[in-house]
Structure formats: C-alpha cells, structure tokens
C-alpha cells in the first residue's frame, strides 16, 4: 500500500509542476531578490571581471539622483557577488539598468555577468573562456 501512495503522490506533484500558468518565471540571480536592478558577477573558476565590477561601482556612486541604495551580496568562493540596486523611483529603474549594461562587456571572456531589472530588463554576457 505504501508504494502505491508514494506513486500517487509523485504523480500528483508532477501534474502540479507541469501546469502552465501562461506566465514566464522571472530570471533570478543569487542575492538579487527584491532588487530594482541586480548585477551578478560570476566566475569561470578564475575570479570575477574586476574591471567591469569597478566600472559599475563607480557609475552607481556617481548617480545618486537615480540610486537610493546599493547592497553587495557575496555568494561564491572566487569573489562572485551580486550588486542589488534600489532606485530612487520606479521611473529610475530603466535608466539605471541601461546605464549599467553600457558598462558591461558583451562577451564574457573573463567571467559571466548577468543584469536584471524589475521592468523586465535582462542582459547576459555571451561566450566564455576561449570565445
């Protein structure tokens, strides 16, 4: 009887997970929950792209009219981190996202970088080592 109950529970769970609500799940990055804009600096086992991180830090510090708060959450062993930006208003989200993305490389030869915004903005470096 127990195997039957386990099988029935598994079937119900699988059916519930397969339900299509029609909504796309929003992408996320470690430490990016609740951020207006998040920038995640990953690593290909050789550390983050420190130059890109420095450019983003400098840009955010220079735009206090758009940026209310910045929190950095470390999450890896090689300096991986996520920058969580709270903007001064909902209208500031798009200019902050586009300003940050302009600073990032399009090809992540040093390390992957992902930027997301609450308004649906999504950026991810292409490629990898040797690209």
Residue 50 has phi, psi (to 5 degrees) of: -65, -35
Residue 36: give the domain boundaries.
31-124
Query: Would you state the torsion angle of the CA atoms of residues 28, 30, 31, 34, taken in this order, to the nearest 10 degrees?
Result: 10
Identify the helix (H) or strand (E) that includes residue 85.
Answer: strand 81-87
32, 116 contact by CB (below 8 A): yes
Residue 68 has phi, psi (to 5 degrees) of: -90, -35
Q: What is the CATH number of the domain that holds 92?
A: 3.30.70.1430
Decide: pTM greater than 0.85: no
| pLDDT tens sequence across 22-71 | 333 455 677 678 899 999 999 988 899 999 999 999 999 999 999 999 99
**How many domains does the structure of the chain reveal?**
1
Over 90: is that where the pLDDT of 103 sits? yes
Which pLDDT does position 65 carry in this prediction? 98
Specify if 51 maps to a domain.
yes
Which pLDDT does position 25 carry in this prediction? 40
Specify if 10 maps to a domain.
no
Specify if 102 maps to a domain.
yes
């Amino acid at each position: 009887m127990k195997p039957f109950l386990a099988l029935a529970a598994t079937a119900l769970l699988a059916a519930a997970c397969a339900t299509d609500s029609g909504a796309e799940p929003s992408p996320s990055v470690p430490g990016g929950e609740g951020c207006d804009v998040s920038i995640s600096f990953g690593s290909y086992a050789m550390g983050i792209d420190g130059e890109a991180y420095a450019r983003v830090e400098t840009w955010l510090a220079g735009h206090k009219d758009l940026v209310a708060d910045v929190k950095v959450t470390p999450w890896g062993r090689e300096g991986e981190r996520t920058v969580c930006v709270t903007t001064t208003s909902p209208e500031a989200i798009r200019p902050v996202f586009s300003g940050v993305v302009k600073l990032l490389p399009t090809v992540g030869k040093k390390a992957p970088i992902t930027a997301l915004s609450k308004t649906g903005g999504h950026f991810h470096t292409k490629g990898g080592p040797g690209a």
